[in-house]
Structure 1
Amino acid sequence: MHHIPQLFSAQDGCLTGETTLSEGVGMPLSFGHAYMTLMICLSGRTLVSLNFKDQVVRTHDVLVLAEDTMTLLKRRSQGFKVFFLLMPKNLASEVAYPLPNSLFVFLHDNPLCVPLQKDRALLAAWLVQLRQIVQARGRYQHIMLRNQLQNFFLRIAEQIPSEYQGSQSFSRKEMISWRFWELVGQQCRKHREVKFYADALNITPFYLSQLSKEFFNDSPKALIDRQVVLEIKALLSYSQLAIGQIADQLSFEDPSYLCRYFKRHTGLSLTRYRQHEQARSGVVAIG
């Protein structure tokens, strides 16, 4: 798959799979209701902005993205591909319960983790085990998955310097830009007008446009429309909702307007896209 995986609601189970993220280039990434997103680079490389700091992600590198991590995919190599695991809040809370507080401070400041050379084989073996747990759907799958993830994060925690203290601050412009993108993720199913977001941020649409072009290199309207298109693609790919139901969920006045909107932005019909993606998704959902 090439698009951005999403959890539809906070009650969903976790979601795993592989993606090239090719449809997310040039825009902030949003994973729906995922409370935490774990990604492991399987091949290639990408340039990504993490909390407004540019970083290169290479094969074997790990991204641990909280729901408030500002992630902007800038460029990717042709062969770039990641494994992803999207966690809802209930699973993330279970996993986090015994973990040390220093780990959360570290991951907030360092969402990109680069394994040591000697740990790469361990990471590969861990991923094989994780895939087996997900695919087996055994009686104790939930416990095994939780334990597997806890072991992963404890391995990271072991390598954090004991004297480490987080220290990251953002300018007012960065905070407004971050808040704008959070609002888009939360409200784009109901609101597609730039004025709504500007009003919510207590700024003018013109100033929002300036900030959006400075930090995201695009207009607010383009970012909103891209996120709406991603929401449509996710519903087409991962659900069996009828077109009319998707139109209702995304606040389109009728299915025909949804069809025109989607085709204008993608060049594809809704039916053709759904058939193509559901035939090749390879995504595993855990209830």
Structure 2
Amino acid sequence: MNQQIVYNLEEFATKYNLKDIYGAYAAHISITGEESGHLSDIDVSKSEDNTFYNMMAERTLFTKLFLVKQGNCRLNILVANTRQELVLAANDFLIATPQETAGIKETSHDFKAESILVDESFAKQAQRYQLNDVKYKSIYDIFHFVRDIVRHQHINKMEMIRSMFNVLKLIIDELPYEQCSVSHDLGHKKEVYEVFLHHLYRHFRKERQIRFYADKLNVSAPYISRLVKEISGSTVYDHVSSLIYKEICNLLTQTDMTMGEIADQLSFSDQSAMTNFFKQRSGMTPLAYRNR
């Protein structure tokens, strides 16, 4: 049985005749369902041109980044030895790591996307984000900056490209905390849980309801309730209550705030409600805890 070749970026570019490439480090590709406008573009509307389909199935040593401009593309991607189906649509951003291969099932006739191939790590496993207009524009601009830097002569070309990727990594780091659009069908439950914790730490003083955090994560309340219990063994309410209790203890010992001020700070209906909450967990009143 023939062993599948694992390509570095230079070998890959040679095989597929990519033009917008810098050494074995970075390359840019435009993918379109219409007539190509540049030599490095891939026209997926031509039945005899299976380049894009073949490229996705190759084993590589580099990361593939995809930004969908319009239309849609259905693919199967192999993540952690499990084949999962994805449908990429406009404003979707996909990170495919070197370990992952994909099989393109179909593309719409109006499908257009930008791709960056880069010998850098951007994620531990495949991730998909649905970008808002601002983030889409930011990533789109970076893709084109990289393309233009690759195409033209620059004394500090490598440094310029790396600076673009550093900015891109910072933007990617922000994405889960803004909207949690990490694809659920890629099984990133731990990442969703981490984003839940991020929102919880920011909002627990004001927000107690599961619905609030579910909305932040763009998922249903039952889903986030099951996921948190599955990952941590504790309920969402347990997480919220634990943080509130610890914050009361902290405010009692580290500040001279009154009981009423602490109750207001932590959005209790009144001082009595906070006292009852605290006493159930500590066995003493907040004042007794402060005066220990």
TM class, shorter-length = 0.3 to 0.5
TM-score (norm 2): 0.43
Structure possessing the higher relative contact order (Cα contacts under 8 Å, 6 or more residues apart): 1
The structure number with the bigger radius of gyration is 2
| TM-score, normalization by structure 1 | 0.43
